[in-house]
Structure 1
């Protein structure tokens, strides 16, 4: 399996994968337009020419980024795909000089493996909540806000799963 930056040709597969989870209420839906506009944010895991996972690193400010749209095909869960995608995002954030990365998630245990810690949502900039207006759970969000200081996290520096 190969972890790489997403390409425009990946958008239809990303759309299907992300929106499968959106139907379950665990991810925000993404339109094709949004995916094309933000393709540079995305990392993918590819196996035999098929996208089996994706994750985005969205820059929010000079020192803050968000991990978004982490999705792994159900047949590949538990095989390290999600971890490898998060590591790729954290490595990229580190290379860009980002100090903190946050996530809104239901998978606290998963993100705690990368030293993410729970944080009050009020500590995140208001700009973050612009996308939340599109969520069916707004304004009663039940996701947990977590963040990590990148100086505390161990990041693998290879790109193979």
Structure 2
């Protein structure tokens, strides 16, 4: 089951992301950062136990730009479509919010290409570079692959005047 993350999920998310970070597969996230950005995060949970087995977040960068980041699925649950469902939840939320372009920085470019993302030059995302990349231990020698997805947004209802 995919749902929005809750406060009680944060320690589990941090541990899972930390495990992947130690393997060099993604960047670690501090507890403070995860609590601050909790509303960005989706989790995959076992239906019976509500145990977090995967996560992904949609981080808004600018008016029409958001990043899909921190995608992780526990190794014993991989290859079951969970990662795809997490990214689809981010795409759907972006569509609902009226965000037209998503990007990701990843080592799993083939996964994202299968979801419709296309290769891009990292330098077209100055908001990302100034907000996050300058603080990254890999900067300026980043070896992640940038991909983008342009999405159709839903027509938003007219604002209420009353």
TM-score norm. by structure 2 comes to 0.89
Greater RCO structure (CA 8 Å; 6+ sep): 1
Is structure 2 residue 13 aligned with structure 1 residue 38? no
TM alignment of 1:4-23, pairs within 5 A:
4-23=3-22
Q: Is the 8 A contact 2:62 2:127 kept in 1?
A: no
- C-alpha distance in structure 2 between counterparts of 1:63 and 1:56, whole Å: 16
Alpha-carbon offset, residue 44 of structure 1: 0.2
Aligned residue number for residue 157 of structure 1: none
RMSD: 1.2
- C-alpha distance in structure 1 between counterparts of 2:137 and 2:121, whole Å: 21
Matched residue count: 150
Aligned residue number for residue 88 of structure 2: 87
Q: Report SS of the residue matched to 1:151.
A: coil
Aligned residue number for residue 114 of structure 2: 113
Is structure 2 residue 89 aligned with structure 1 residue 75? no
Alpha-carbon offset, residue 99 of structure 1: 0.3
1:3-28 deviation per Cα after TM superposition (whole angstroms, max 9, x unaligned) = 00000110000000011111111111
The structure whose Rg is larger is 2
Q: Report SS of the residue matched to 2:148.
A: strand
- C-alpha distance in structure 2 between counterparts of 1:139 and 1:87, whole Å: 30
- C-alpha distance in structure 2 between counterparts of 1:61 and 1:127, whole Å: 7
- C-alpha distance in structure 2 between counterparts of 1:132 and 1:94, whole Å: 26
Instruction: Structure 2: give runs of 5+ residues left out of the alignment.
Output: 154-162
- C-alpha distance in structure 2 between counterparts of 1:119 and 1:73, whole Å: 28
Deviating runs (4+, > 3 A) in structure 1?
A: none
TM-score norm. by structure 1 comes to 0.90
Aligned residue number for residue 148 of structure 2: 147
Aligned residue number for residue 127 of structure 1: 127
Alpha-carbon offset, residue 134 of structure 1: 3.1
- C-alpha distance in structure 2 between counterparts of 1:91 and 1:113, whole Å: 17
